[in-house]
Amino acid sequence: MSDPWVRLLQLAYFMLPAYCANMAPPFTRYWRGWNRPVHERLLGSHKTVLGVLAGVATGVLVTGMQSRIHAPWSLVDYRHWLLLGLGLGGGAMLGDMLKSLIKRMLHIRPGTRWIPFDQLDFVAGALALTGTCAGLGATDVAAIAAVTFVGDLALNQLSYRLGIKDSPW
């Protein structure tokens, strides 16, 4: 059995496009051009078309960069990096939007903290579309969820303090 720290690094490297995709949409608030909500009534005003496109594009871009690195610790073959990037970036955005839809259905106001769903929505979406191609097991998924939960809380606090996000969650 390999070193658990090495496995955590492998898992983080695999998930890097989804992590970056999840962090991309808040930066679209600085765009002065067209950036309309995907569906304001169902998802809220802060889920925008440009934000979703930025998330997907970021996932594809990061996966494309990974395909050029040829890292020996990679869990997947990057020959089909475009599909993998679309799965990780698109899955992250779909997971986030599905969580927002469920929040609206439960009458939870936009921006209201909803732990652990706010931290794990994008991971669930990304893994639903790509987890099997990496051969991830239940322990891997649990490790990704645990590391992501803690990391997301820390990054959201930092983003809030830097003025990138409107709320600390």
In the chain, count of helices (H) and strands (E)? 6, 0
pLDDT averaged per 10 residues in sequence order, the chain, 169 residues = 85 96 89 86 89 97 94 88 97 96 90 90 97 90 96 88 80
Ramachandran bin of 137, using left for φ above 0, alpha for ψ from -120 to 50, beta for the remaining angles: beta
How many domains is the chain partitioned into structurally? Answer: 1
CA distances to 32, 41, 92, 127, 156 from 22, in Å: 21, 22, 6, 13, 11
In a domain, 166, yes or no: no
Q: What is the pLDDT of residue 96?
A: 95
What three-state secondary structure class fits 24? Answer: coil
Q: What is the pLDDT of residue 98?
A: 96
In a domain, 70, yes or no: yes
Neighbours of 142 (CB within 10 A): 10
In a domain, 27, yes or no: yes
Q: What is the pLDDT of residue 1?
A: 46
In a domain, 98, yes or no: yes
> Taking the CA of residue 89 as centre, how many other CA atoms within 13 Å lie in the half-sphere pointing to its CB?
25
